[in-house]
Structure 1
Amino acid sequence: MGGDREGKDFDRKLEEMGIRIKDADSRKVRGEVFDENTLLALYHLVHKKKLSAIGGSISTGKEANVFLGEREGKTVAIKIYRMRTANFKAMAEYIIGDPRFAGMRRTRKDIVFTWTKKEFANLKRAREAGLPVPEPYAFDRNILIMEFIGEDDTAAPQIRNVELEDPEGVYRAVVGEIKTLFQEARLVHGDLSEFNILWREKPYIIDMGQAVTREHPNAGTFLIRDIRNINRFFSSFCPVEDEDVLVREVTGGTFRPLQPEKEQ
């Protein structure tokens, strides 16, 4: 009985804020990630006309949940980072050393908010470099609104769940994306694997929150780890290049940190 009353109160609060629940059980939505900061962020996004509705869950993770949403009549993905359970110490490893966010305070809230801003900035840079990543639309506090990669409200599958007709061709495409990310967007993904590459006629790279600039002190280590992960996955389906050869290919034969960048 208490749960029903709580659910109705939550629904009413969303309605008062102008947030519409679309095709979803709002009690399930409420139970996952919603707190005061998240509701405030939703309120701002709705009233800035960056979002008109929130729908069902696409994925659930330790750090964030992703929901369907609606923006200007179009389906979008809404990524909401968890304020209570996000591993802010692990997040800090990817932020500290990134000159774009040198002034960040190291509280849990500030780290999560900076991470959201960082993913928006990284996606924007990757898109501008011509990479197949979700287009970022807006962010506020711990919420990021971006392009939905999928069809008819069904998310595109992770590449690990797809039977590839030409695995060697896809492998080379992914290597090309790592190279473009490094050379054109001047970023290293930092956690690339078969779990954050979606397949929709071509490979789409997602989960760009941890991506670092080339001058980050751990950029070289992260790049080698990305290449190692991709080689591990594709080695079951096709021949793969030597790790050192790929590092030279991706970096153009050398790895030289660039001048520090200002926050974007």
Structure 2
Amino acid sequence: MLEMLKKPRSHRSRLMEKDVDEIETRIARIKSERRVKDSRIFEVVEEVFDYQTLMALYKLLNAGVVKLVHGVVAAGKEARIYWAEARDGSDIALKIYLVQAAEFRRGRLMYIEGDPRFKRVRGDKRKLVELWCSKEFRNLLRAHEAGVKVPRPIARRGNVLAMEFVSDPAQRGRPAPLLKEVSLDNPEAAFETIKRYIALLYTKARLVHADLSEYNIMVRGEELVLIDFGSAVDADHPMAVDFLYRDVRNVFAFFSRIGLDVGDPTAFVSYLLQR
């Protein structure tokens, strides 16, 4: 379980011996309290296992947010999504951002530096990753409160985000498919729903998703769920309108490709800007 931390000293130069001892002590305590069956929460996150990530998970355990983790259900260059279980047995998702991701900083600053909520962007890669995780949590919260269907945010610690697990109704623990992967029974209704979500985001949540497309919309039965809100910016961001145009063009282009008469995306954006 602690294989990664028990490598020769040359492989753990960043961890002092007391840090390793503290980790082992805390895991033993968790085991004794039976909060995690067979300590699976640590075994399944081995690839993103470092001291700070472990401590973030420990805090979520201590707060009663997480009981155990079943395994990875989605993986990308910057983050992994884990199917997890809350203390009450309900399914949750853990999004763990990879601090060691080489490309994380590149292309991310423009989504943060102009956001009035994040006036100072300083520090090392870990601080930037944790800021990004915090940003996604806050964006999800605003979108959820505005009535947009998103994974309900639950908690955030460090580079770990806990949220609702958007499951395929046909199989527990399997994520719902993406919009690009399904054949819609009623594409007209789906198109109007997504337009309504874009409008709610901009006019009520005062957010622009900034990365919206068929790759960031899940289909859970009859529900459409918008995901991946790390890039979302405040409506006062200097590039917010540009991002809004891009989101709308992406959505209109997708539904046009599947045969809908979608109208003019520019006219829809103009309508939103006048509200």
Count of aligned positions: 248
Aligned equivalent of 2:270, options 232, 235, 248: 248
The residue that corresponds to 2:59 in the other structure is 44
CA offset digits 1:179-216 (Å, max 9, x no partner): 11000100000000111100111211000111000110
The residue that corresponds to 2:3 in the other structure is 6
Question: How does 1:224-243 map onto structure 2 within 5 Å?
Answer: 224-237=245-258, 238-243=260-265
SS at match of 2:45: helix
Q: Which runs of 5+ in 1 are unaligned?
A: 254-264
Question: 1:226 deviation in Å?
Answer: 0.5
- For residue 82 of structure 2, what is the amino acid of its counterpart? F
**Contact 2:143–2:205 (8 Å) recurs in 1:** yes
- Separation of aligned partners in 2, 1:5 and 1:96: 38
- For residue 60 of structure 1, what is the amino acid of its counterpart? A
Q: Which runs of 5+ in 2 are unaligned?
A: 8-22
SS at match of 1:248: helix
Q: Given the alignment of the two structures, is residue 76 of structure 1 paired with residue 92 of structure 2, yes or no?
A: yes
The residue that corresponds to 1:139 in the other structure is 156
- For residue 197 of structure 2, what is the amino acid of its counterpart? E
Aligned equivalent of 1:115, options 116, 124, 132: 132
- For residue 6 of structure 1, what is the amino acid of its counterpart? E
> Relative contact order (C-alpha < 8 Å, sep 6+): which is higher?
1
- Separation of aligned partners in 2, 1:20 and 1:124: 28
- Separation of aligned partners in 2, 1:208 and 1:229: 16
**Contact 2:144–2:152 (8 Å) recurs in 1:** yes
The residue that corresponds to 1:179 in the other structure is 199
Question: 1:91 deviation in Å?
Answer: 2.0
SS at match of 1:231: helix
Counterparts in 2 of 1:5 and 1:222: CA distance versus 1, 3 Å: closer
- Separation of aligned partners in 2, 1:169 and 1:95: 33
CA offset digits 1:83-126 (Å, max 9, x no partner): 00151232222111111111332421111111111111111101
**Contact 1:22–1:55 (8 Å) recurs in 2:** no
**Contact 1:190–1:225 (8 Å) recurs in 2:** yes
Instruction: Give the TM-score taking structure 1 as reference length.
Output: 0.86
Q: Given the alignment of the two structures, is residue 65 of structure 1 paired with residue 85 of structure 2, yes or no?
A: no
SS at match of 1:101: coil
The residue that corresponds to 2:104 in the other structure is 87
SS at match of 1:51: coil
Question: 1:249 deviation in Å?
Answer: 2.6
Question: 1:20 deviation in Å?
Answer: 2.7
The residue that corresponds to 1:213 in the other structure is 234
Counterparts in 2 of 1:29 and 1:5: CA distance versus 1, 3 Å: closer
**Contact 2:150–2:227 (8 Å) recurs in 1:** yes
When structure 1 is superposed on structure 2, of 88-97 and 75-84 the one drifting more is: 88-97
**Contact 1:45–1:51 (8 Å) recurs in 2:** yes
- Separation of aligned partners in 1, 2:44 and 2:59: 22
Counterparts in 2 of 1:178 and 1:67: CA distance versus 1, 3 Å: same
Instruction: Give the TM-score taking structure 2 as reference length.
Output: 0.83
- Separation of aligned partners in 1, 2:184 and 2:109: 36
SS at match of 2:270: helix
**Contact 2:41–2:69 (8 Å) recurs in 1:** no
Question: 1:5 deviation in Å?
Answer: 8.2
Q: Given the alignment of the two structures, is residue 189 of structure 1 paired with residue 209 of structure 2, yes or no?
A: yes
Which is higher, the Rg of structure 1 or of structure 2? 2
The residue that corresponds to 1:162 in the other structure is 182
Counterparts in 2 of 1:173 and 1:120: CA distance versus 1, 3 Å: same
- For residue 218 of structure 1, what is the amino acid of its counterpart? M
**Contact 1:104–1:111 (8 Å) recurs in 2:** yes
Identity of aligned residues (%): 37
- Separation of aligned partners in 1, 2:201 and 2:37: 36
Counterparts in 2 of 1:7 and 1:104: CA distance versus 1, 3 Å: closer
